[in-house]
Structure 1
Amino acid sequence: MLAPDAFDDWSTAVPDWKDRVREGRSLFPALPLHDPYAEKALKIFKGLRAPDLDGFPTYGEICDEWVFDLVRVIFGSFDPEIKRRYLREFFVMIPKKNGKTAIAAAIIVTACILNMSPAAQFILIAPSIDLARNAFDQAAGIIKRTPRIKPLFGDPQESTRTIRNLNPKIPSKIMIKAADDDIVTGLKNATVLIDETHVFAKKPAAKGIFLEIRGALSHPQNKHFLLQITTQSKKPPVGVFRSEVQTARAVRDGKLARPLLALIYELPLDMVKDGGWKNEDTWPLVNPHLNRSVDLGFLRDQVRTAEEEGEEALSLVASQHFNVEIGTGQGDDGWAAQLYWDGGADETLTLETLLERSYVCTIGVDGGGDDDLCGLVVLGKEIGTGRYLAWCKAWAQPSVLKRRKAIAPALETFAKDGDLTLCKEAFQHVAEVVEIVAQVAATGKMPEEYAVGLDKAGLPELQTELELDGFVEPFITAVQQGWRLQSAIRSLPLRLKAKLMLHAAQPIFAWSVGNARVEIVRSNQYIDKALAGAAKIDVVIALLNAAQLMFNNPEPSGRGLDEFLANPVTAF
């Protein structure tokens, strides 16, 4: 374990990254690199030749300074005299066409040449078999076209995508793997490069492989490293990939201390909103190889074509070519709340603090079938400001994970967050919704009438259970769906924009909002589950239900739960 002073010396935090991105400055922190070793590695790297370009130019000729800085940090964070590695992981998120695979192949060849560990493996994991072949051809081609290093390696074995280092004293090998379930085992003596983590992370074995890699890297005598080079996900980040991105951002922001360098080429959120990423002036800020491997005309064509094709195509271009995280506000049929959702986050907000800060609360509930989620939102009106405060909870039957495999990783992640419960019993969600209603009602901050809004057609058991517990109409009420929700559909985005609504910064809330799609029929706006497809929006519908009730300007009953149940409001 590093001594505290050494660890501080190797902090990779870049808390001013937003300013650096805006100004086009380097995103690398100042580090006490072992310069002789860093320069030795860089000399080798720069001398390698690109096999897929006319004239086979060297990497020193085709790469920009940011690549050289990356190579310096990777190898300069290893002390060859005491054989100690100070930075074990490197996370690079960069848009497509910036040379990810070519750079990864050259780095792995460089690492293999400098290897000091007998029987070491240098493994590059590509997202598919085709891309694994491409990566293998790149590595083999580098060796073939660089005369100085060609004698160091044996003939590339295409059938196994293996290239052996012929050093008799320190034998090692380069292996190119596809992102299959059985990718790698026995990682005690391996450097691993993962190309396109967002694809690799979808594999069922991904979590276990990361654990094995990191377990090996934690050894005191470790000389190896893990390098991830990826674009943004084509969908809202979930599961293993979301965890990797969150960790990298936290290290970059100085919120988390890890022996990891995070190099993330992304725009600050305020530059992304309202389609700001489409401003060509921002493109070089996140495409550091613009006018080298990235063509400006190509990017223009991609954006223009996507604008003609619609929201889905535009989202894809934004994520893949400009590292815009899906769900941060691009597109033409997404709910307008997506534009302002991140700006309304309040990480201090929990159910308990919401109840403390609010003088009146309503609750919305939606869903709850065997192939569905059940979503609940508590909406408070803040004392003194009148701002809306929103907190959510969701439930799912385990069968949803099997039937909706596309969203299963997301649901499992939300369960770990504590915002979603995977029910062990068929009506566990009903019992727990009633418990939350009772908890909020006990504060005396719910109105006498129209306090809990739900779609009765989908939740008959919930209505029955609420009535058995003394919560009867009109305390509970049906909220009309479809176009009748448009008051909330139109109003809540404006409240978010004006900072008159805050939410509890729950990932499942953001995911649900990102899934919501708006359809306009005869000037009426709809948010319909059919538009969202397999993606779930039950939490959004619950929010709309709660908001419709809050629009009635309710007043708190002032009665605690015992008094309320002793004298329930009854409709005649």
Structure 2
Amino acid sequence: MADIPVNEQRAAKALAFFNRLRLPDVPGNPALSEACGDWFRDILVAFLASEDPITKQRLVWELLCMVPKKNSKTTYVAALGLTALFMEEAPNRQMLLVAPSQNISERCFDQAQGMIRIDARLNAIFKVQDHLKCIERRKTGTQLNVKTFDTSIVTGEIPILTIIDELHELGKKAKASAVMQQIRGGGITMQGGQVLMITTQSDEQPAGIWKTELKKARDIRDGNGGSAPILLPVLYEFPLAQQRDQDYWRDKRNWAPILPNLGRSIDPERLSADYDNNGKVNAEAEKIWTSQHLNIEIGVGIGDDSWRGADYWEQGAVNELADLDELLRRSEVVTFGGDGGGLDDLLGAAVIGREKGTRHWLCWNHAWVHKPVLALRKEIAPALQDFEAENTLTICDRPEDLILGFGGVFRRVMASGLLPAKDAVGLDPNNVAAIIEDLMAGGMTDDMLRRVRQGPALSPAWWGIEFKLADRTFFHGGTTLMNWVVSNAKVVRQGNGIMITKQHAGSAKIDPLIATGCAAILMSWNPVSQNNISSFLASLAEE
């Protein structure tokens, strides 16, 4: 955590109050002075007592703490909320402690009111209203309301302090960004308003408001947050290179630095046993366990049932290849693939080019989705909206817009002259009649269309891409769309072949990856572009 200058008198007052609070659910009710680690006291002081030594103005208006599960964060933020309520001298103000679910909000409230009920002195300071989940400071009338997240939680209110527990869960909720904007509205008033966010890492790939806030916090931590950031990041996570190194984070000797409450709320032996007995059951269990207990970000699959190409996917990222025109410029020949399973799925497109000179494979992807899918699959709606903002996915109002968008990309590729005269376009033969009609209208011939069988028939594509990723001869645009799609891919063995399927039925989408397999099959046949054929024939005519 950055070294933040503080008002020493205010810091001492906050610490004195916080340290005397006692844990209501632990035998003996130990005081936080002995039960809480210094790591959280540093957060408390920085958040409640920061001060510019020259201007005397507050420096930390927002704080994001990402800490692994079982580090007592819910208990500690309840205590911080009480401390803030005690420190606030202005009358009739509003404070919020917001949780993403009723269970978590009740846990926050129970901890806060429990601390009050076991201390007669605190009973004289605070009035607890159980039915409203409200704690009021008797002297000032200022209230701390514990609420479950909802789009209406801040309607008509300007909170001077908002604590958000498990921020990552809000990344799965629609309109979370709009609510955060309302909450932050208190920060630009003359009275000011602070926001503290505390969370574990998400058990899915970061999306929505969580993805936005995490990126902002990392940028500030890394010195890229502008000249005067108002957010203080406190991120207990391994550097991204170490997160990608499975041998590193699987070594339990490396865990201690990101577990600040190790030896207090976390028993190291029981944590180790839980990992061995539950976290390593299979790849999916390990992915979820490490995201929660080690803050390993989910983005690319690991484990026995994940596609092996996922292990090398990120090393093939070249940002310039997110631009289709750049891929066409660098290629001597391209193949085109598509896949879509209906209006509940994505319609995926892939263009694979063979690079001039190197003969490396270059890949570009895009996807389209019918707008009602966002309501039907609410759990992935924030991710789909992120991909739209990235310009790698188009959300279509009408079903026919999916076909028009797909066909528009084909026409751009067709106009380049880089498609082969034969076996240029690979499609699953099912459910593609309307797509084929549109592509024919865009110039595709019968010879150019290749109906590519799915399932184990695509095994050569997956094996080929795996090897080319591993030996760094396959490159792609490094988009979050494809990182997500690749993380959804699961391998099922059938006979001597393999089949790529979804990790989770319904919500996990892999259509752009299947489209990539279709294009890869055609590229593996060593095609020659129509431009090159025309050039070759012209040279023969000259001779």
Structure 2 length-normalised TM: 0.91
Residue 152 of structure 2 is aligned to residue 182 of structure 1:
yes
Correspondence for 1:202: 172
Residue 118 of structure 2 is aligned to residue 118 of structure 1:
no
* Contact kept? 2:301, 2:489, Cα under 8 Å: no
Question: CA separation of 1:448/1:209 partners in 2, compared to 1, >3 Å: closer, same or farther?
Answer: same
* Contact kept? 2:172, 2:379, Cα under 8 Å: no
The one-letter amino acid paired with 2:188 is S
* Contact kept? 1:181, 1:203, Cα under 8 Å: no
Residue 494 of structure 2 is aligned to residue 521 of structure 1:
yes
Query: What whole-Å deviation, never above 9, does each CA across 1:314-360 have from its counterpart, x for those lacking one?
Result: 22211111112223333321112222223322223321222223332
Correspondence for 2:539: none
The one-letter amino acid paired with 1:296 is P
The one-letter amino acid paired with 2:204 is K
Supply the distance in 1 between the matched residues of 2:157 and 2:173 (Cα, whole angstroms): 18
Matches within 5 A, 1:94-109: 94-109=67-82
DSSP 3-state at the match of 2:147 = strand
Supply the distance in 2 between the matched residues of 1:202 and 1:404 (Cα, whole angstroms): 11
* Contact kept? 2:491, 2:498, Cα under 8 Å: yes
Correspondence for 2:324: 351
The one-letter amino acid paired with 2:169 is V
Question: CA separation of 1:94/1:531 partners in 2, compared to 1, >3 Å: closer, same or farther?
Answer: closer
The one-letter amino acid paired with 2:496 is S
Residue 49 of structure 2 is aligned to residue 76 of structure 1:
yes
Distance apart, 1:80 and its partner CA: 10
DSSP 3-state at the match of 1:430 = helix
Query: What whole-Å deviation, never above 9, does each CA across 1:502-552 have from its counterpart, x for those lacking one?
Result: 221221111111111110122311113597543111011011111111112
Correspondence for 1:466: 439
Correspondence for 2:184: 214
Correspondence for 1:537: 510
Correspondence for 1:333: 305
Residue 367 of structure 2 is aligned to residue 394 of structure 1:
yes
Question: CA separation of 1:260/1:98 partners in 2, compared to 1, >3 Å: closer, same or farther?
Answer: same
Residue 198 of structure 2 is aligned to residue 233 of structure 1:
no
* Contact kept? 1:97, 1:294, Cα under 8 Å: yes
Question: CA separation of 1:341/1:187 partners in 2, compared to 1, >3 Å: closer, same or farther?
Answer: farther
The one-letter amino acid paired with 1:248 is A
Supply the distance in 1 between the matched residues of 2:160 and 2:90 (Cα, whole angstroms): 9
* Contact kept? 1:351, 1:391, Cα under 8 Å: yes
Select which of 391, 410, 418 maps to 2:391: 418
The one-letter amino acid paired with 1:399 is P
Question: CA separation of 1:46/1:491 partners in 2, compared to 1, >3 Å: closer, same or farther?
Answer: farther
Query: What whole-Å deviation, never above 9, does each CA across 1:121-145 have from its counterpart, x for those lacking one?
Result: 2211123223222211211222334
Distance apart, 1:368 and its partner CA: 5.7
DSSP 3-state at the match of 1:104 = helix
Structure 1: 5+ residue stretches without partners = 1-27, 565-572
Supply the distance in 2 between the matched residues of 1:264 and 1:186 (Cα, whole angstroms): 32
* Contact kept? 2:279, 2:285, Cα under 8 Å: yes
Select which of 138, 141, 160 maps to 1:171: 141
Question: CA separation of 1:93/1:176 partners in 2, compared to 1, >3 Å: closer, same or farther?
Answer: same
Query: What whole-Å deviation, never above 9, does each CA across 1:199-227 have from its counterpart, x for those lacking one?
Result: 244343522220101121123441x3111
Supply the distance in 1 between the matched residues of 2:290 and 2:41 (Cα, whole angstroms): 27
The one-letter amino acid paired with 1:206 is A
* Contact kept? 1:368, 1:459, Cα under 8 Å: no
Residue 221 of structure 2 is aligned to residue 252 of structure 1:
yes
Supply the distance in 2 between the matched residues of 1:55 and 1:290 (Cα, whole angstroms): 20
Supply the distance in 1 between the matched residues of 2:356 and 2:270 (Cα, whole angstroms): 52
Distance apart, 1:149 and its partner CA: 4.3
Select which of 273, 276, 279 maps to 1:301: 273
Residue 26 of structure 2 is aligned to residue 57 of structure 1:
no
Question: CA separation of 1:237/1:559 partners in 2, compared to 1, >3 Å: closer, same or farther?
Answer: same
Correspondence for 1:137: 110
Distance apart, 1:308 and its partner CA: 5.8
Supply the distance in 1 between the matched residues of 2:274 and 2:107 (Cα, whole angstroms): 24
Supply the distance in 2 between the matched residues of 1:500 and 1:294 (Cα, whole angstroms): 45
DSSP 3-state at the match of 2:95 = strand
Matches within 5 A, 1:257-276: 257=226, 258-273=229-244, 275-276=246-247
Supply the distance in 1 between the matched residues of 2:348 and 2:64 (Cα, whole angstroms): 35
Supply the distance in 1 between the matched residues of 2:26 and 2:194 (Cα, whole angstroms): 29
Distance apart, 1:307 and its partner CA: 5.1
Query: What whole-Å deviation, never above 9, does each CA across 1:106-159 have from its counterpart, x for those lacking one?
Result: 1111111111332122211123223222211211222334565443222x1111
* Contact kept? 1:379, 1:391, Cα under 8 Å: yes
Distance apart, 1:263 and its partner CA: 1.4
Query: What whole-Å deviation, never above 9, does each CA across 1:166-225 have from its counterpart, x for those lacking one?
Result: 12xx33112111234433333324311111112244343522220101121123441x31
Supply the distance in 1 between the matched residues of 2:500 and 2:415 (Cα, whole angstroms): 32
Matched pairs, number: 532
Structure 2: 5+ residue stretches without partners = 536-543
* Contact kept? 1:232, 1:319, Cα under 8 Å: yes
The one-letter amino acid paired with 1:526 is M
The one-letter amino acid paired with 1:290 is L
Distance apart, 1:456 and its partner CA: 2.5
Residue 467 of structure 2 is aligned to residue 497 of structure 1:
no
Matches within 5 A, 1:345-384: 345-349=317-321, 350-367=323-340, 369-384=342-357
Question: CA separation of 1:201/1:467 partners in 2, compared to 1, >3 Å: closer, same or farther?
Answer: closer
The one-letter amino acid paired with 1:273 is R
* Contact kept? 1:48, 1:58, Cα under 8 Å: yes
Supply the distance in 2 between the matched residues of 1:186 and 1:243 (Cα, whole angstroms): 25
Query: What whole-Å deviation, never above 9, does each CA across 1:366-402 have from its counterpart, x for those lacking one?
Result: 1162222110012222334333222211111123223
When structure 1 is superposed on structure 2, of 523-532 and 439-448 the one drifting more is: 523-532
Question: CA separation of 1:32/1:465 partners in 2, compared to 1, >3 Å: closer, same or farther?
Answer: same
When structure 1 is superposed on structure 2, of 45-54 and 461-470 the one drifting more is: 45-54
Select which of 262, 270, 283 maps to 2:255: 283
Residue 292 of structure 2 is aligned to residue 320 of structure 1:
yes
Supply the distance in 1 between the matched residues of 2:48 and 2:279 (Cα, whole angstroms): 43
Supply the distance in 1 between the matched residues of 2:144 and 2:390 (Cα, whole angstroms): 38
Supply the distance in 2 between the matched residues of 1:380 and 1:409 (Cα, whole angstroms): 31
Identical amino acids, percent of aligned pairs: 36
Question: CA separation of 1:306/1:502 partners in 2, compared to 1, >3 Å: closer, same or farther?
Answer: farther
DSSP 3-state at the match of 2:83 = helix
* Contact kept? 2:488, 2:504, Cα under 8 Å: no
Query: What whole-Å deviation, never above 9, does each CA across 1:89-121 have from its counterpart, x for those lacking one?
Result: 111111110011011011111111111332122
Question: CA separation of 1:339/1:151 partners in 2, compared to 1, >3 Å: closer, same or farther?
Answer: same
Residue 456 of structure 2 is aligned to residue 483 of structure 1:
yes
Correspondence for 2:541: none
* Contact kept? 1:119, 1:189, Cα under 8 Å: no
Supply the distance in 1 between the matched residues of 2:398 and 2:24 (Cα, whole angstroms): 59
Structure 1 length-normalised TM: 0.86
DSSP 3-state at the match of 1:407 = helix
Please give the root-mean-square deviation of Cα atoms over the aligned residues, in Å: 2.6
Query: What whole-Å deviation, never above 9, does each CA across 1:404-434 have from its counterpart, x for those lacking one?
Result: 3332232233223222112233222222222
The one-letter amino acid paired with 1:270 is A
